[in-house]
A and B are shown apart, each in its own frame.
Chain A
Amino acid sequence: MIRFCEVSKSYGSLPALRSVSGAVAAGQVVVVCGPSGASKSTLIRTVNRLEPIQSGRILIDGRDIHERSWSVNDLRSKVGFVFQSFGLFQHLDALANVALALVHVRRMPRREAEAAAMSQLERLGLADKAHHMPSQLSGGQQQRVAIARALVMKPTVLLLDEPTSALDPEMVGEVLHTIEQLAGAGLTMMCVTHEMGFARRVADRIWLMEAGELKVDADAASFFAGEAGPRAREFLNNQ
Chain B
Amino acid sequence: MMEIIDKYWLLLLIGQYPNGPLGGLAMTIIIAFGALAASLPLATLLALARTSGIPWLERPVLWLVTFVRGLPFLMFVFWVYFGVPALFGISLDGVTTMVVALIIYESAYISEIVRAGIEAIPRGQIEAANSLGLKYGVRTFCIVLPQALFNMMPSLITQFASIVKETSIGYIISAQELTFAATQVNNLEVTKPLEIFAILAIAYYLLCGGVVLVARMLERRVLRRRRQAAQTARPLTRAVAA
Contacts and interface: CB of A to CB of B under 8 A. Distances in A.
Contacts of A105: 132-134, 138
Contacts of B241: 172, 194-198
Contacts of B146: 91
A86 B124 CA distance: 8
Given A87-B124, A164-B239, A165-B238, A135 B131 contact: no
Interface residues of A, number: 47
Interface stretch (A21-29, A75-83, A207-215): A75-83
Contact of B125 (A78, A87, A162, A195): A87
B127 A83 contact: yes
B177 to A, nearest CB: 37
A7 B11 CA distance: 76
Contacts, number: 107
A9 B240 CA distance: 28
Given A83-B127, A239-B240, A239-B242, A104 B134 contact: yes
B188 interface: no
Contact of A91 (B131, B147, B239): B147
Given A50-B130, A105-B132, A196 B235 contact: no
Contacts of B142: 100, 104
Given A91-B150, A165-B238, A195-B241, A86 B133 contact: no
A100 B147 contact: no
A1 interface: no
A134 interface: yes
Contact of B132 (A142, A149, A166, A168): A149
Interface in B206-242: 225, 228-229, 232-236, 238-242
B229 to A, nearest CB: 5
A5 interface: no
A137 interface: yes
Given A166-B233, A239-B242, 10 more contacts: A50-B127, A77-B133, A84-B235, A86-B233, A104-B142, A153-B132, A166-B236, A167-B236, A194-B238, A196-B242
23 contacts: A50-B127, A73-B133, A73-B135, A76-B131, A77-B132, A77-B133, A79-B131, A83-B128, A85-B235, A87-B131, A89-B147, A90-B147, A91-B147, A105-B134, A135-B228, A135-B229, A137-B232, A139-B232, A146-B128, A165-B239, A166-B235, A194-B241, A196-B241
Interface of B: 124-125, 127-135, 138, 142-143, 146-147, 150, 225, 228-229, 232-236, 238-242
